[in-house]
Chain A
Amino acid sequence: MENILSILVFFPAVAGLLGFVIDKDSAKAYGVTVAAIEFLLSLWLWFSFDTASAGMQFVEMIPLIPDMGISYYVGADGISLFIIIMTTLMTLIGMASMGETKNIKNMIVTLLFLEMTMIGVFVALDAIIFYLFWELSLVPMLYIIGAWGGPLRVYASIKFFLYTFTGSLIMLVGMLFVAYIYHSLTGVWSFAITDWYALVLPVDYQLWLFAAFFIGFAIKVPMFPFHTWIPYAHGQAPTIGSVILAAVLLKMGTYGFVRFSLPMFPDASVMAITPVAVLSLIMIVYTAMIAYAQKDIKQVIAYSSVSHMGIIMLGLFAMNAEGLSGSVFQMLSHGIVSGALFMLVGMIYERRHTKLMSEFGGLASVMPKFAVIFGVMLMASVGLPLTIGFVGEFLVLLGFYQVSPIITIIAGTSIILGAVYMLRVMKFTFFGPLNNEENKKLKDLNRRETWSLIPLVAIVIWLGVYPKPVLEPIDNSVKALLNFMDEKALTKEAKDMIRVAKSSKEVK
């Protein structure tokens, strides 16, 4: 099964196409089964993955448009491997926990297509294929937000689409320019990222290209000040939409930085440390404060997502293996934790058709299971040790401390501010007297809901206690990446800044 990546990409798409003929009542069972198979396939990918190797594995390459240098070129390394697994997992769990009943068949088909695009983004090694899946992922999401969302759904979905679309077009120009340079240097057209890695670009080119890619990725992440689409998207999206959006789609942006910006533009990346760090700080502190002011539980989590993405961004630009590995790990942890939190909010929304904190209070006594799971996720979200949230956040801050202690300390306030807004949610929702008559009749989580959340709880604790199976392959690839960046960097400043791990030198 050398072509497992292609299977992973196209299996859901084919299943989605076939899904059109499935009967409405069986659609959900079909979807869950497909997602489960897909998840097992991704586990198989992990199983057959050589964790000791840092390079690309399961590489497939089929030339599509040789005249333009475009080929179907996929592969996975330690960084993308787990994001893929997280994608399949969150799709499966999101789908299984889904309480939606309206147009269920369309939803399932859309989700399966979405799964294809998401996995496609993470396995693509050709810039155009990457771009292809990247853009295509907007469409199912647009539909999910727009068709099953809240009252402002149309506005939210269009905003989401146009905003990211605009950014990615700028990125596309950047890609074309890189291909042009590659062509003028080698005489060959190629969009293969691995070919591009070999390009040594002058610093000013690097800066411009970095900026072009930055716009595309930053909007997706979303970085301040490009983040305003996300409260709308999350606020209006149905639960499953928010889950996937937060868990996977946002990771595309940060993944893009790892896959493109860092290795291709090492000098520019080093120069960008300060600006990016400042933006990340704003994301961390400013959106944490905004989260605190929210009245809607879901909006709190939406803004908290932005805040956590700030941590991830910071780690990416730490230029050392601790920060980068931590950042990639944090992507996974944020995916699982925020996904779970959105699912939880969705469950309460289904019961009460409101997400306003003022409507709740004292829920812990009528919905103890719910409260416990929410509590676990909350603790993971604020980065409690032995939960998945800590490992990444700690490594990121540890890594960035080497770059700038001051910035790290300000970024570190995230552990305080995060606690501030999350505990506020906890207090107003679960604690206090149970005053509202309507809440007294609320039912605790049913079997379906409980069992879709328990795996996430298990992962949150498992990877908090023993992150090694995941962290090690990530770390290997990250070390290789840093080695590569260090070798490629032109300026002395960059070489000084990029810190190659001692342990990876021995490997070399």
Chain B
Amino acid sequence: MLSPINVSLESLNLITLAPMLIAVVGGLIILVLDLLNNKLHKSLYVMLTILVLFIDFGAVLGLNVNERGFFDVMLIDGISIISQLMVIGGSMMFIPLALTSKKFHEYSYPEFFALFLFMIAGFQFMVASDNLILIFVGLETASLSLYTLIALHNRANSYEAAVKYFTMGALAAGFFTMGSAVIYALTGSIELYKVAEVLATRVNETGLMIAIFGSSVLLLVAFAFKISLFPFHTWVPDVYEGASAPLAGYMSVVPKIAAFVVSIRIFGMYLDLGVEWVRWTILILAVITMTLANIMALVQNDVKRMLAYSSISHAGFIMAALALDTTEGNTSIFLYYALFMFTNLGAFTMLWISRHKKRIFDTRYDHPYEKFSGLVQTMPMAAVIMGIFMLSLAGVPPFSVFWGKIYVMQAAVNAGYIWLAIIMGLNSAIAAYYYLKLIVYMFLKDPVQDAETVSYNMSRSLMVIIGFATAATVGAIFYVQPLISYLYYMISASGY
């Protein structure tokens, strides 16, 4: 006999779903508004988006640590809270970049903002669950929105970028589902905590381990693609180049945070089970990624592409921290991205400000180095600020990324991976060259452009963003402590 379905609302713990719902509803409201009046200015949508995100942020803050909800598919642990906060925070910082002084195609569509909010909801689902289905759905929701957002930039390169990203993303999705299927086949479950339980009892079976081997490789491919590890990083430079600068900056931080969270959940599980070769695979991949991306960044002619490679390299850096499988290592992932976010926000905004509809300096690139030559003479403040961002990225103290870097390296040293710390150090040294290259152009060369060229898109809101990013980058030393202690607390609370 079928017993009547009886679900108590309380046990659903719907509050865990609230943040995502807020984002989705926000997106819908924007769409409805457009239906009612399609002459509304983008600034309204921007502000609405920020407000929605603000509420979203508050809702996440209100969550209790270590809860499950909605048929236990939602998992609200420390990681999920901090990653949601970072996703939302990052989005709040990047969306005002729509407020340029010049018009850009995509921002005239309210759909842009709706999609943006849906994407955030997707990311939130991704990080707030240990159910592979939900992770997959969240991942795809976010990715599909992201592809569209990229394409909305409405130029040949954007379409090309979107197609490349999309196709590779589809392949990665295939790998992800196949990996999940293997896991399912092995354990009969797709809830990670159950998977872990099952695997823990059978960890000595050779056949099983071979199968795990296969599944973890498939999953690793999928997430290496998202995180952009070598050799799955090939989309990054092209997509960053094709996408608008704000979106590129956004992609260098937010989707990666989400992907990292899932990686922590999946690979952290393997590492906890004592599957050493996962660690080595990740470490080797990470080392290759940071080194090769650095080396390729050396020879770039375009600042945006350089930043793309640099973000690959930074991702490799962080991936190594993941392999450490210590609380410090996991803390460092979030700390690094939090600090990295401010700097990247600033750097990409600077690029955004200098963006023209037409390519003035180079037929191929939007932001060739030459564009910035002699900037210190025409716009000293801008040059100094951009210089600070570059130094921060290079890991020069006391700017924000340095503190992330030192924390990662400290984590590596503490875990006994001194060689890794040394490789990280040397990689930072290589990386310094291409960041310096921009500084060299800005400070040491004579100007070939007028101030207007570089401040084409300048508007008050962008200045505020830049100011904020600068303050956050320079003053990192003052907020690193609370940040660390909060992150550390949340992560250790969720058992990683």
Q: Which residues of A contact B (CB under 8 A)?
A: 20, 64-68, 103, 106, 128, 131-132, 135-136, 138-139, 142-143, 146-147, 153-154, 157-158, 161-162, 165-166, 169-170, 172-173, 176-177, 179-180, 183
Supposing A139-B396, A162-B432 touch, asked if A68 and B413 sit within 8 A by C-beta, the answer is no
Task: Report the nearest A residue to B479, measured CB to CB.
Answer: A65
Supposing A135-B397, A180-B414 touch, asked if A154 and B440 sit within 8 A by C-beta, the answer is yes
Interface residue B167 (Cβ < 8 Å from any Cβ of A): no
Question: Which residues of the partner chain B approach A161 to less than 8 Å between Cβ atoms?
Answer: 432, 436
Cα of A495 to Cα of B284 in the assembled complex, Å: 44
Q: Which residues of B contact A (CB under 8 A)?
A: 376-377, 380, 387, 391, 394-398, 402-403, 406-407, 409-410, 413-414, 418, 421-422, 425-426, 428-429, 432-433, 436, 439-440, 443-445, 477-478, 480-481, 484-485, 488
A142 contacts B436, C-beta separation under 8 Å? yes
Task: Report the nearest B residue to A66, measured CB to CB.
Answer: B481
Question: Which residues of the partner chain B approach A136 to less than 8 Å between Cβ atoms?
Answer: 396-398
Supposing A64-B477, A177-B413 touch, asked if A166 and B429 sit within 8 A by C-beta, the answer is yes
Question: Which residues of the partner chain A approach B406 to less than 8 Å between Cβ atoms?
Answer: 68, 128, 172, 176
Question: Which residues of the partner chain B approach A138 to less than 8 Å between Cβ atoms?
Answer: 396
Query: How far apart are A8's CB and chain B's nearest CB, in angstroms?
Result: 18
A162 contacts B444, C-beta separation under 8 Å? no
Most buried by A among B402, B406, B414: B406
Query: How far apart are B243's CB and chain A's nearest CB, in angstroms?
Result: 30
Question: Which residues of the partner chain A approach B407 to less than 8 Å between Cβ atoms?
Answer: 68
B409 contacts A139, C-beta separation under 8 Å? no
Task: Report the nearest B residue to A133, measured CB to CB.
Answer: B397
Task: Report the nearest B residue to A158, measured CB to CB.
Answer: B436
Supposing A68-B484, A170-B425 touch, asked if A106 and B409 sit within 8 A by C-beta, the answer is no
Point out the residue from B391, B425, B484 that lies within 8 Å of A169, measured CB to CB: B425
A154-B440, A162-B429, A180-B414 provided; 8 other pairs, C-beta below 8 A? A65-B403, A128-B397, A128-B406, A146-B443, A147-B376, A158-B440, A169-B428, A176-B413
Point out the residue from B376, B426, B484 that lies within 8 Å of A65, measured CB to CB: B484
B397 contacts A131, C-beta separation under 8 Å? yes
Cα of A136 to Cα of B398 in the assembled complex, Å: 8
Task: Report the nearest B residue to A169, measured CB to CB.
Answer: B425
Query: How far apart are A342's CB and chain B's nearest CB, in angstroms?
Result: 21
Cα of A331 to Cα of B371 in the assembled complex, Å: 44
A173 contacts B485, C-beta separation under 8 Å? no
Query: How far apart are B295's CB and chain A's nearest CB, in angstroms?
Result: 14
B444 contacts A179, C-beta separation under 8 Å? no
Cα of A139 to Cα of B442 in the assembled complex, Å: 13
Most buried by B among A20, A131, A132: A132
A173 contacts B477, C-beta separation under 8 Å? no
A165 contacts B432, C-beta separation under 8 Å? yes
Main secondary structure of the interface of B (DSSP, over half): helix
Supposing A64-B477, A131-B397, A169-B429 touch, asked if A176 and B410 sit within 8 A by C-beta, the answer is yes
B418 contacts A173, C-beta separation under 8 Å? yes
User: What are 23 A-B residue pairs whose CB atoms fall within 8 Å in the complex?
Assistant: A20-B380, A65-B477, A67-B481, A67-B488, A68-B484, A132-B398, A135-B397, A138-B396, A142-B439, A143-B444, A154-B440, A157-B440, A161-B432, A162-B429, A165-B394, A166-B426, A169-B426, A173-B413, A173-B418, A173-B421, A173-B422, A176-B421, A180-B414
B425 contacts A173, C-beta separation under 8 Å? yes
Task: Report the nearest B residue to A171, measured CB to CB.
Answer: B425
Question: Which residues of the partner chain B approach A66 to less than 8 Å between Cβ atoms?
Answer: 481
A165 contacts B439, C-beta separation under 8 Å? no
Point out the residue from A64, A68, A157, A172 that lies within 8 Å of B444, measured CB to CB: A157
Query: 3 tightest CB-CB pairs across the interface, nearest first?
Result: A169-B425, A166-B429, A132-B397
Question: Which residues of the partner chain B approach A65 to less than 8 Å between Cβ atoms?
Answer: 403, 477, 480-481, 484
B436 contacts A68, C-beta separation under 8 Å? no
Query: How far apart are A161's CB and chain B's nearest CB, in angstroms?
Result: 6
Supposing A65-B481, A153-B444 touch, asked if A177 and B418 sit within 8 A by C-beta, the answer is yes
Cα of A473 to Cα of B429 in the assembled complex, Å: 38
Question: Which residues of the partner chain B approach A162 to less than 8 Å between Cβ atoms?
Answer: 429, 432-433, 436
Cα of A183 to Cα of B426 in the assembled complex, Å: 25
Point out the residue from A64, A157, A165 that lies within 8 Å of B429, measured CB to CB: A165
Query: How far apart are B344's CB and chain A's nearest CB, in angstroms?
Result: 20
Question: Which residues of the partner chain A approach B429 to less than 8 Å between Cβ atoms?
Answer: 162, 165-166, 169
Query: How far apart are B288's CB and chain A's nearest CB, in angstroms?
Result: 19
Question: Which residues of the partner chain B approach A172 to less than 8 Å between Cβ atoms?
Answer: 406, 409, 425
A106 contacts B380, C-beta separation under 8 Å? yes
Question: Which residues of the partner chain B approach A170 to less than 8 Å between Cβ atoms?
Answer: 422, 425-426
Supposing A139-B396, A170-B425 touch, asked if A68 and B440 sit within 8 A by C-beta, the answer is no
Question: Which residues of the partner chain A approach B439 to less than 8 Å between Cβ atoms?
Answer: 142
Task: Report the nearest A residue to B485, measured CB to CB.
Answer: A67
Point out the residue from B380, B403, B409, B444 that lies within 8 Å of A173, measured CB to CB: B409
Question: Which residues of the partner chain A approach B440 to less than 8 Å between Cβ atoms?
Answer: 146, 154, 157-158
Task: Report the nearest A residue to B412, measured CB to CB.
Answer: A176
Query: How far apart are A366's CB and chain B's nearest CB, in angstroms?
Result: 36
Cα of A183 to Cα of B477 in the assembled complex, Å: 21
Question: Which residues of the partner chain B approach A173 to less than 8 Å between Cβ atoms?
Answer: 409, 413, 418, 421-422, 425
